């Protein structure tokens, strides 16, 4: 797949994910829904955030940094967007459960930092 085709497909799928998220956010009533409504809401938000952050991360790496091949930039941008989106979703879940405080935030930052460092070191050791 060419870079232009990848960017086009990723942009279209991200727009579709944002449309699905807006649809789900419009029909889900947080006071009357069950776990399935929350699951759909968080999954749609996760997919939307992952797509837009991956596109922005790749474009930043490709335009500003320009040191890596496009394939490597795509992999790194997608991995980091996945982790960052998961981080945001976990923060929102903690907030909804009333468990969001500075200690939980600090623990999540440490966990995701260690995970990212592990993934970076795993890549270089192979």
Chain centre to alpha carbon of residue 29: 24
Q: Could you list the pLDDT tens digit for every one of the 126 residues in the chain?
A: 788 898 999 999 999 999 999 999 999 888 888 999 999 999 999 999 999 999 999 988 888 877 767 778 888 899 999 999 999 999 999 999 999 999 999 999 999 999 999 998 886 655
Residue 125 has a pLDDT of: 58
Based on the structure, what is the number of domains in the chain? 1
Give the phi and the psi of residue 18 in degrees, each rounded to 5.
Answer: -65, -35
Residues of the domain holding 99: 3-125
**Contact status, residue 77 vs residue 61, Cβ threshold 8 Å:** yes
Residue 123 has a pLDDT of: 66
* CA-based torsion, 82, 85, 91, 95: positive or negative: negative
pTM attached to this predicted model: 0.88
């Amino acid at each position: 797949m060419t870079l232009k085709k990848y960017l086009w497909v990723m942009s279209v799928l991200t727009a579709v994910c944002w449309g699905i998220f807006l649809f789900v956010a419009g029909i889900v009533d947080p006071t009357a829904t069950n776990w399935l409504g929350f699951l759909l809401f968080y999954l749609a938000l996760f997919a939307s955030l992952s797509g837009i952050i991956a596109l922005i991360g790749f474009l930043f790496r490709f335009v500003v940094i320009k040191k890596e091949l496009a394939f490597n930039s795509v992999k790194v941008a997608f991995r980091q967007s996945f982790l960052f989106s998961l981080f945001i979703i976990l923060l929102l879940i903690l907030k909804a459960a009333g468990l969001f405080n500075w200690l939980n935030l600090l623990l999540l930052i440490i966990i995701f930092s260690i995970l990212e460092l592990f993934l970076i070191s795993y890549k270089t050791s192979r």
